[in-house]
Chain A
Amino acid sequence: MPIDKATVAKIARLARIRVPEAEQERLAGELSNILGWVEQLAEVDTADVRPMTSVVDAVPPMRPDEVTDGGRRDEILANSPNVARGFFTVPKVVE
């Protein structure tokens, strides 16, 4: 599935990554190559194979429902360029 320039521009916009137009053609080629390789892998019949999600037979760890965190507002807000009255603030987004 070859990727064209317009698709590169769209994905870049969705991902909020600035990709200058001059680079879009090159990226389209690279991404097409990657997808081509994945398509080649997909030719292998894996109908009876369970997807491998880990190299060891692991189950996801779970935690008991206990409050063990929070109450660290200063740390949470520390990296934010704009803060007011304990909130993050951003340029107004109104629907």
Chain B
Amino acid sequence: MTKLMKGRTGDWEVVIGLEVHAQATTKSKLFSGAATDFGAEPNTQVSLVDAAMPGMLPVLNELSVRQAVLTGLALKAKINLHSVFARKNYFYPDLPQGYQISQYEQPIVGAGEITVDLPDGETKTVGIERLHLEQDAGKSLHDQHPAQSYIDLNRAGVTLMEIVSRPDMRSSDEAAAYVEKLRSILRYIGSCDGNMQEGSMRADANVSVRRPGAPLGTRCEIKNVNSIRFLKQAIEYEAARQIEIIEDGGKIGQETRLFDAAKGETRSMRSKEDAHDYRYFPDPDLLPLDLDPGFVDRLKQSLPELPDEKKARFIADYALSPYDAGVLVAERETAEFFETVAKGRDAKLAANWVMSELFGRLNKADIALAKSPVTPEALGGLIGLIADNTISGRIAKDVFDEMFETGKDAAAIVEAKGLKQITDTGAIEAVVDRIVAGSPDNVAQYKGGNAKVIGWFVGQVMKETQGKANPKLVNDLLRKKLGG
């Protein structure tokens, strides 16, 4: 599958690498005991360490380390037992220390990979270069005052895992699929909540273009994109911009750019030539981090079944299509819900009910799966009633609607409303006889070779029986009567 972009002078290949900043799920910060809750009053979750008061010393949060290692293991990456914290020096109002504590030459996690599921059903392996731990900066608000920026340090010092990919992606769709898969993995292991609206996951995109087969072009980095939709827009805009410059005879200058969501464009952010001169050096306040191999092994044992493994198992054990399996495993909760529904039942039927009926209703009512008025056990009960012919599939939809409204269980609704399927051949036969006798025209048509008219007869029988007649019996009886 080629994913080239057309320019005026020929085809171009887009090359994308992503740096995703994922906030590690911890109650307190990477180097201080201040809280990390989202949405608190400004500067109320700031310790003297986060505010960089003189003489304060950072002390490492053991859960931050654990989350980073767990994430590395889930990305099939090399865990570096020895890693070093370094200072990345730059000045900005929301960075009180004047440097960010990060990791540079010796990160905690080395090379790994992610299998990305593409929209066309194909998969692609994207390399992970590294994952390192670092502090988040504070937040600057530029829209509170005409001449001032407002600074809130609540986020300063929160644990970030910066996950750097190889430049392996070739389209905005691949980049989006990569972020979705990474998010799914992080949520499975609980190392990051993946909430892009609240800034728990942000992406920087490195984008360059080249003629197919040519060496890599000069890249531009688009900073801090906070939704998958914006990421796609930013990459597409940026690639088109670069192609136009080169086709006009210009050159791309390496720079940092900002995505303006309102205008749908990227624009230059830091033009100073020394913007990237961070003068990293090992942080003298922090000893190197040495991990016990046993600690890493225990975390490896504790990894849950991850999306790829679960998907493979769903395809093998439940005979689901790769697409259905992919949808069901994207969120751990969805996969667990499905498995409870499918337990001891027809898996394909369970998948259909979960994906089309239940998801459809939940989306429409804007209810999260965890708050579903129909429990997985109740939905399983409904599917059981279909499977043992107590109700027809058509009646089941009405029963499901009522379950969704009232939270009642399927068997109780069927009993109370008398919706049990009519499987008594004699009773159905009587109705069939009456309808066949009452419409000689249609009978003649059928006998004249118009087989489709049988649909009309089935409809009439169903109408008479309020949909309760067993469809298979109705069909069999009609064919017998009409054919005879």
Contacts and interface: CB of A to CB of B under 8 A. Distances in A.
B59 A95 contact: no
A71 B60 contact: no
B274 interface: yes
A33 interface: no
Contacts of B142: 92-94
Interface stretch (B6-14, B144-152, B247-255): B144-152
Interface string B30-47: 001111000001111111
A86 interface: yes
A14 B274 contact: yes
B62 interface: yes
A12 B105 CA distance: 25
B287 A63 contact: no
A81 interface: no
Contacts of B289: 60
A29 B33 CA distance: 44
B79 interface: no
Interface in A80-95: 82, 84-95
B97 to A, nearest CB: 13
A34 to B, nearest CB: 15
Nearest to B35: A67
B286 A60 contact: yes
Contacts of A10: 274
B140 interface: yes
A20 interface: no
Given A14-B279, A63-B60, A82 B27 contact: no
A14 B89 contact: yes
A87 B277 contact: no
Contact of B46 (A14, A61, A70): A70
Contact of B145 (A60, A66, A84): A84
B94 to A, nearest CB: 9
A65 B140 contact: no
A86 B274 contact: no
A62 B292 CA distance: 14
A93 B150 CA distance: 10
> Which DSSP category, helix, strand, loop or mixed, fits chain A's interface?
loop
B225 to A, nearest CB: 14
Contacts of A71: 44-45
A68 B46 contact: no
Interface string A45-69: 0000000011000111111111111
B276 to A, nearest CB: 11
Nearest to B57: A61
Contacts of B288: 53, 60
Given A66-B28, A84-B145, A90 B151 contact: yes
B303 interface: no
Given A60-B289, A66-B28, A86 B149 contact: no
A73 interface: yes
Contacts of A89: 145, 148-151
Nearest to A65: B63
Given A10-B274, A84-B150, A65 B93 contact: no
A90 B89 contact: no
A86 B111 CA distance: 43
A84 B26 CA distance: 29
B91 interface: yes
Interface string B112-142: 0000000000000000000000000000111
Q: Which of B43, B47, B144, B282 has the most CB of A within 10 A?
A: B43
A60 B60 contact: yes
A87 B94 CA distance: 11
Contacts of A76: 43, 46, 48, 51, 153
Interface string B61-80: 11111000000000000000
22 contacts: A14-B274, A14-B279, A62-B60, A62-B61, A63-B33, A63-B60, A64-B62, A64-B63, A66-B33, A67-B27, A67-B35, A70-B45, A70-B47, A76-B46, A85-B42, A86-B43, A87-B144, A88-B43, A88-B151, A89-B145, A93-B93, A94-B149
Q: Which 8 A-B pairs have the closest CB atoms?
A: A68-B33, A65-B63, A69-B47, A87-B150, A69-B33, A88-B151, A60-B287, A70-B34
Interface of B: 26-28, 32-35, 41-49, 51, 59-65, 89, 91-93, 140-142, 144-153, 258, 269-270, 274, 277, 279, 282, 286-290
